[in-house]
Amino acid sequence: GQSLEQPSEVTAVEGAIVQINCTYQTSGFYGLSWYQQHDGGAPTFLSYNALDGLEETGRFSSFLSRSDSYGYLLLQELQMKDSASYFCAPHSGNTPLVFGKGTRLSVIA
């Protein structure tokens, strides 16, 4: 079977750093994707990790540890516009993505 865990809500201060964790159990695991969704908007792709380690894209970084079935999304220099829901989604073979319930990030002044 598959399971996916990420915190339901996180609050952080503008300019700070926040880490959103994701643990998963997926047979035939290939890699882990992250998506962002603003209220009323569509999910948009942020990153994909197939190998262990940190992938950096501007203010956002994503980390994967395959042996721990764990990943995280790191957001630096938080801005108000980063307030959104963030979904981790493990890939398994040729089956489509499985999305978790998402983490709602609130950035406060």
Partner 1 sequence: ETGVTQTPRHLVMGMTNKKSLKCEQHLGHNAMYWYKQSAKKPLELMFVYNFKEQTENNSVPSRFSPECPNSSHLFLHLHTLQPEDSALYLCASSSTSGAANEQFFGPGTRLTVL
How far is residue 28 from each of residues 20, 33, 79, 105, measured CA to CA in Å?
A: 24, 15, 36, 30
Nearest approach in angstroms of CB 28 to partner 1 is: 9
In the complex, least distance from residue 109 CB atom to partner 1, rounded to whole angstroms: 26
Beta bridge partners of 25: 3
Terminal Cα-to-Cα distance of the chain (whole angstroms): 41
Q: Which is nearer to partner 1, 15 or 53 (CB)?
A: 53
Rounded to an integer, what is the distance from CA 79 to the centroid of its chain?
17
Kindly tell me which of 8 and 79 has the beta carbon lying closer to partner 1.
Answer: 8
Task: Tell the smallest beta-carbon distance from residue 40 to partner 1 (Å).
Answer: 9
Write down the least CB distance from residue 31 to partner 1, Å: 6
Find all residues with CB under 8 Å of 101, minimum gap 6, and list them.
6, 8
CB nearer to partner 1: pick between 78 and 100: 100
Measured between alpha carbons, how far is 67 from 55 in angstroms, rounded to an integer? 17
Nearer to partner 1, 2 or 79 (CB): 2
Q: Which residues bind partner 1 (CB under 8 A)?
A: 4, 30-31, 33, 41-45, 48, 50, 87, 91-102
